[in-house]
Amino acid sequence: MLIRELDDDSLLLLQATPRKWLEDGKKIEVENAPTYFGRISFSVDSKAFSGKLHASIETPRRRSPGQLIVRFRHPLSKPMQSVTVNGENWTDFNTQKEWVVIEKPLLRRYTITVQY
């Protein structure tokens, strides 16, 4: 499952992505997928050998979700060490759930880099 709308007004991306899909050098790309909030586009690039996963997200225009949650499943199940969102250090991530959370995402574009 790549996109899931939750009952609590959250939009969850990449929830059930197979780890194999994020092996080094692989890319997942979704364009103009319909959601309750409007169309969303995103991609995730794996640089797993270098210890990084990188996502680019264009958020829905019609309505912002209450939360944008992105799950980053390292292909070797390594835990997250640090996260940046739009180049800024980010602390709202959960290493057990492998989630990065953006509360009330008002920007049109987000870039997320997870370091392992």
Q: What does the pLDDT look like over 53-96, one tens digit per residue?
A: 999 999 998 999 999 999 999 999 999 999 999 999 999 999 99
Give residue 3's pLDDT: 98
Give residue 23's pLDDT: 98
Task: Return left, alpha or beta for 84; rule: phi > 0 is left, psi -120 to 50 is alpha, else beta.
Answer: beta
Tokens of 44: 């995730």
Q: In the chain, what is the straight-line distance between the N-terminal and C-terminal CA atoms, in Å?
A: 23
Give residue 1's pLDDT: 86
Cβ–Cβ < 8 Å for 54, 112: yes
Q: Which fold has domain 3-115?
A: Immunoglobulin-like (2.60.40)
Give residue 106's pLDDT: 94
Give residue 114's pLDDT: 99
Tokens of 100: 């990065």
Task: Domain ranges for the chain, please list them.
Answer: 3-115
Amino acid letter, residue 70: V
